[in-house]
Amino acid sequence: MLWQLSGLKSFDVHATDGRCGKIADFLIDDTTWRIQWIVGDLGSWVDPHKVLLPPSAFGAPREDKHVFPIGWTRARAATARDSSEAPPVAQQMAAHQASPHLNMAEAIAITAGANLLPSSDGASDEVRPTVELNAHLRSSAELIGYEVKVNDGEMGEIEDFVLDDRPWSLTHLVIRWSNWWRPHHVIVPARSVQSIDWRKKKIRLALSADEIRSASPLEMIEVHGRDFAPRRTGWESVM
């Protein structure tokens, strides 16, 4: 079944013994476009507690109840790995830029709030969780808004994604591009992505501008969890 990814982020996570939080993000492998982790926020807005939940633990989303069932108890979900233990690429690189004198894992640990305490011999004793570094792990939330670069220029930005809940992979990117009178929202296969530049916040596709213009609109496919509220630019707000 196909789902609009942004719509699923409003769903509650329901454990076997009741509600335990909300969906916060989806972490994706940018080589296969499969979901590696579902980030659940099990805390509150004043005290967030984001954990890494494996897609295999989830059942199919329930659109009628706006819930995402997980076959775990609330207690088990609460003890899942902290989200800082598997940071996506942009977070890894930003942490390393902020602390270039440290290795990547140390920089990420400090960013996540851990302390590095010096030992008696002057070396650093790392007080931190085990950090899992992955050069292809991307946050779906981070990718929203990235500019789309095509073979003959630039063509809009990433607005959303389409998810197939079996086998937990992204099938399409939703791209927003505009002519002078109105925006368009079209879908292109995720496999058309050639590269992602986290510094410039751009995604390069193996497509042309004409192929983007002629791509199928999002409305042409049946997706569940539709919660599409296009982001507005300054010129649109005055129309």
Taking residues 2-27, report their average pLDDT: 93
> DSSP assignment, residue 33?
-
Instruction: Write the DSSP string, 171-209.
Output: EEEEEEEE-SS-EEEEEEEGGGEEEEETTTTEEEESS-H
CB atoms within 10 A of CB 103: 15
pLDDT tens digits along 146-203: 999 999 999 999 999 999 988 899 999 999 998 767 888 999 999 999 999 999 999 9
Structural domains in the chain, CATH included, are 10-83 (2.30.30.240), 89-127 (no CATH), 139-237 (2.30.30.240)
Helix (H) or strand (E) holding 93: helix 89-98
Average pLDDT over residues 226-238: 42
Of residues 58 and 237, which shows the higher confidence score? 58
34-57 burial code (b ≥16 CB/10 A, e <16): ebbbbbbbbeeeeeebbbbbebee
Which residue shows structure tokens 């992979």?
A: 169
Question: pTM of this prediction?
Answer: 0.84
**C-beta separation of 106 from 99 below 8 A:** yes
In this prediction, residue 114 has a pLDDT band, given cuts at 50, 70 and 90, of low
What's the rounded mean pLDDT across residues 110-131?
Answer: 56
Phi, psi of 26 (to 5 degrees): -125, 130
Confidence of residue 107 (pLDDT cuts 50, 70, 90): confident
pLDDT in tens, 126-150: 445 578 889 999 999 999 999 999 9
For residue 232, the model assigns a pLDDT of 40
